[in-house]
Structure 1
Amino acid sequence: MSRSVETSSIRAAVTADDLDLAVQLAVDLLRGAPAAAWAGKAGSLEWDCWETVEHLSDDLFAYAAQLGPKQPPLDGEVPFVWESRRPGGPANAIHANRTAGPAGLLQVLEASGALLVAMVRTKPPQTRAHHVFGVSDPEGFAAMGIVETLVHTHDLAQGLALPWSPPADLCSRVLARLFPAAPSSTDPWTTLLWATGRAELPGHPRLTTWRWDGVPRA
């Protein structure tokens, strides 16, 4: 009995394949957006849909960059220049060429995701790198990239009027990795939206502030 309980409590690792799946699902969904919709607001965000994809691309690029040096920094970010293109816009190092249109924007997203996927695949698991929420490892950065992708695609889907419901098992793995205190008996996607301040969860107060815990786990 004790052995079966111990086995069932083992956490399923978040992998580079999980991250790749999240990015591809997002890109596939966003390809269905009408060209005229990209100037609209992305859900509850103050950014428009184009800016939100740039921000997501920048997140994925920045996580890859943190893991990139032979000795990743533990006390700060790799010093790229992040700047906003307008007051109130996201401060990014990554900006898409608007003349390339939505197809080009999604190429930027896909390429940025591929950089992080490659880093997660190739960096030793004992690698550690800085994040503002705490030093993390390649699996942690993969999980962060997935959360960024899933929830910002939720924001985009609201703004673009597209249906979006990512796989429950993928949501469960990133919840276990980054939000270990989150409820485990509720719908995983709704729980992830709740954990990132985007949804109500029955029996739990709505979060007005939130953060994940990227500490490396055994």
Structure 2
Amino acid sequence: MPLSGLHVRQAVAYCVDVLGGVPDAQWDERAGGLEWTCWETLEHLADDLLTYALRFGLAEPFAVPRVPLRISSDRPDGPGNVIFGDREAGPGGLLTVVEACGGLLASVVDTSDATALAPHVFGASDPEGFAAMGIVETLVHTHDIAQGLGHFREPPRDLTEGVLARLFPDVSVVDSPWSTLLWATGRIETPDRPRRTSWRWYGAPRDGG
């Protein structure tokens, strides 16, 4: 299944639906197995979606290793971001930021040259690959946050199948696509597969070009 901006929007809509309405006081809880709070993790997700989109805002996406924005953190062990949510707007406001950043990525994916390549720490990728990366970040970080908030629902199966095929072609699906994605990204262990302590995805174009 080729991945498009529509799938990015579906993943972000799922995130907003799962996390919407959670009481403000819970957002400073730790997000699952991460060292970040639920609020920090959602800021990190928005930051990922935005910076993925910015890569294809350049006339020559591969000309620079990254868009040179200033990175900062609200505390020593917090995530380093280029954007942050307004605390006064609450979690609902931060979810709006995520939706906006996801919309930017979706639009960029659908309007960029499908053969364009941009750099990523795991290697060069095309717009579809960055769409898949944005979807994975959205699904697994929604899971991380929901673990901390006790408020989770499994994502759509077609999204998990699509990103597994695109980014983890060497990973065999065991039990379900969702549990396999959680294992592939180091979130869980299974009886026959120990938890991953490091992992990477394969973002190169489907045709290997």
> Shorter chain as normaliser: what TM range?
over 0.9
Shift of 1:34: 1.2
Aligned-partner Cα distance in 2 for 1:74–1:107: 31
- Runs of 4 or more consecutive aligned structure 1 residues displaced over 3 Å after TM superposition: none
Aligned to 2:53: 64
Aligned to 2:6: 17
Matched, 1:31 2:20: yes
Summarize deviations over 1:139-166 as a string: whole Å, max 9, x none. Answer: 0000000000000000000011102200
Aligned to 1:106: 95
Shift of 1:185: 4.7
Aligned to 2:131: 142
Q: Does the 8 A contact of 1:195 with 1:207 survive in 2?
A: yes
Amino acid at match of 1:211: R
Larger radius of gyration, structure 1 or 2? 1
Unaligned runs of 5+ in 1: 1-11
Equivalences for 1:1-218 in 2 at 5 Å? 12-74=1-63, 76-218=65-207
SS of structure 1 residue aligned to 2:105:
helix
Summarize deviations over 1:34-77 as a string: whole Å, max 9, x none. Answer: 11101111111111111111000000000001111111135511
TM-score (normalizing by structure 2): 0.96
TM-score (normalizing by structure 1): 0.92
Q: Percent identity?
A: 55
Q: CA-atom RMSD, angstroms?
A: 1.1
Summarize deviations over 1:119-177 as a string: whole Å, max 9, x none. Answer: 00100101110111101000000000000000000000001110220012210110010
